[in-house]
Structure 1
């Protein structure tokens, strides 16, 4: 009986203790120890997820592997594991194949983030702590196309452009020097002996207009022919007044007039002799053109011989630019092609002209060919012997072209990446033709309307090389396993 009472008391005490414990636990008066499973769950919940990279807070395609701030001081936003479609979860179980957020694609394996031919069936990190990148089913196709995730395409700024026909213009650059137009130079050189009575108000560098006085000269031979002109004119009038047959009309003065013309005597001098019926001692030389005096070799009282140059005058309203075009570029230059010229003396100003002559000679020291360019110079901004930079626009034929940045040139072969849609790109070998300013002629390999990658093709090219390496790596693993 006493044993039964003691057992009953023990059970009651245990029940009371249990109830008190539950009440104490519910009222936080007693902290119960956590089970091992609960400890693991709480540790995992509080464990921070690793940061993959940092992105621009405004959503721009700007990224950084380390913390960074914008120009106005705002911090970049951290992207953790699980927030980026190309990152793998460090908590994935090795014995199962994870699926993506949609639950439709399975991860086949994980590849090295640096592009090395190293794969893993489970999530892992490389020697630098970077997560391996998951490869989903369907991304490693057996054809020659390359699959790139939309996230990578957006972050790296991949751009495509349609293959179209456009005029292919190539600009040839060459140095040049301003020269005088040889057809616009006038030389004053008498054809008789004489001396200078006086020189007009002109000096070297003076701008003169047509008809301005240059000098007054005396020449005995000119006076002799002027006197003969007066005599012949007098006899001609007598013959015209008489009834006797003889020299009539203007035929009688042809001899003296022709001799004065051959001596280079101005027409106004001969008209003055006929009008005044007298022979003046001197006559005046006037400027034959508008231009600048390049040479003045006469002074008051100076004598001269036939052929001596008294003045040299140049019209600089039109000048030449003599450009030295490289031997390899001369085939594209044709007369009449437009040209733009810039000079160091006139910064910011562009002069326009055209090619007029390609000289049939080669400078063997510089391996260049002279090309003459005609430039209007109405405001006299271009002066002789000025240096200039010449841009010759050659070619304007319409042809099938792609941007130069779209071509991946390995030396032995040239390839473009054709956009197949849905993140797939196909490398195609092309045959190139002529090159222009930013564009290249495509002779074969793509058709008009195809879209090719013009920016960011380095990423897709790297993906292609990586996929080829991974396929080769898997093939070797399969061969070794079968052996």
Structure 2
């Protein structure tokens, strides 16, 4: 709540000493001296005197004119947020007050003090900011693919590093209708009760929104997914030591380390949950070797002489015995 004034004037007295001061609803915040306010009060007293004089007039037009003039003067004072109780006191005493006192609209804490005593302020200029911290808002960022599972009114839990072991419970209050261009995340406003004021503005927190993904959904362990940054794959176990890589489209995270699969996988298929990086490395190695082999570009095949494996000798065809060295006799 921003406290402003609707008339120009000077700060005559400042009741708030510093930011952070607790205040109550209806408590005095500052008094403002305004020559225009003094003039308007004097005009109201003249209109009141004129109305009382012409109230017994035999001419109806005079009585109606005096009544309208008084109503207009009273409405002008109300436009400046002068309460009816103060207007009634002005009618009873006839004393013009030189200052206008601004009061707090809520219970809370003074978060900003933008004026000093003796300062000139213009109409509409913010003088103080008062925050009711008994209920706080928390802004959280969520990914865009999680938006279908987020609804206003959902329960949320929050934890903070400076209060270990304590959990705060609240609800989703508002979902902003736009995304951040840099992160592609949506902002969600959460509401938490804060009766003992343990939660402070500008704190960092961790929030958890629990939402049922779907009654029937295909899920895989998160460890079974190979994420390259652009695509996600899983390996399907075909049996007899054979595996097939399969590109999948993933959804939201679930409980117990599960991940929703939107497409690319059917329920009941077996996936590899360990050693996927070994399978992935081997498949990429074979693909690279095939691309580097000669004669593979046009799709033709060439017959090659098998190479000897390390530690083995290839069998040779029998031939003529080598000649004996010269001078050798049996």
In the TM superposition, 1:80-479 aligns within 5 A as 186-245=1-60, 246-248=62-64, 251-395=68-212, 397-399=214-216, 404=221, 411-413=234-236, 436-438=254-256
- Give the conservation status (yes or no) of the 8 Å contact 1:226–1:279: yes
- Distance in 1 between the 2:146 and 2:121 partners? 50
Which has the higher mean CA deviation after the structures are superposed, 219-228 or 363-372?
363-372
Q: Helix, strand or coil for the counterpart of 1:258?
A: helix
CA separation of 1:398 and 1:433: change in aligned 2, threshold 3 A = farther
Deviation at 1:303, TM superposition (A): 2.2
- Give the conservation status (yes or no) of the 8 Å contact 2:218–2:267: no
CA separation of 1:441 and 1:371: change in aligned 2, threshold 3 A = closer
CA separation of 1:226 and 1:401: change in aligned 2, threshold 3 A = same
Cα deviations across residues 269-309 of structure 1 (Å, max 9, x unaligned)? 32321221221222322111111111223333222222222
- Distance in 2 between the 1:433 and 1:363 partners? 22
Cα deviations across residues 81-110 of structure 1 (Å, max 9, x unaligned)? xxxxxxxxxxxxxxxxxxxxxxxxxxxxxx
Cα deviations across residues 146-170 of structure 1 (Å, max 9, x unaligned)? xxxxxxxxxxxxxxxxxxxxxxxxx
Higher relative contact order (CA 8 A, sep 6+): 1
- Give the conservation status (yes or no) of the 8 Å contact 1:291–1:316: yes
Larger radius of gyration: 1
Deviation at 1:258, TM superposition (A): 1.9
- Distance in 1 between the 2:218 and 2:145 partners? 22
Cα deviations across residues 322-345 of structure 1 (Å, max 9, x unaligned)? 111123433322222211111112
CA RMSD of aligned residues (A): 3.4
TM-score, with structure 1 as normaliser:
0.46
- Give the conservation status (yes or no) of the 8 Å contact 1:266–1:285: no
Cα deviations across residues 129-155 of structure 1 (Å, max 9, x unaligned)? xxxxxxxxxxxxxxxxxxxxxxxxxxx
TM-score, with structure 2 as normaliser:
0.65
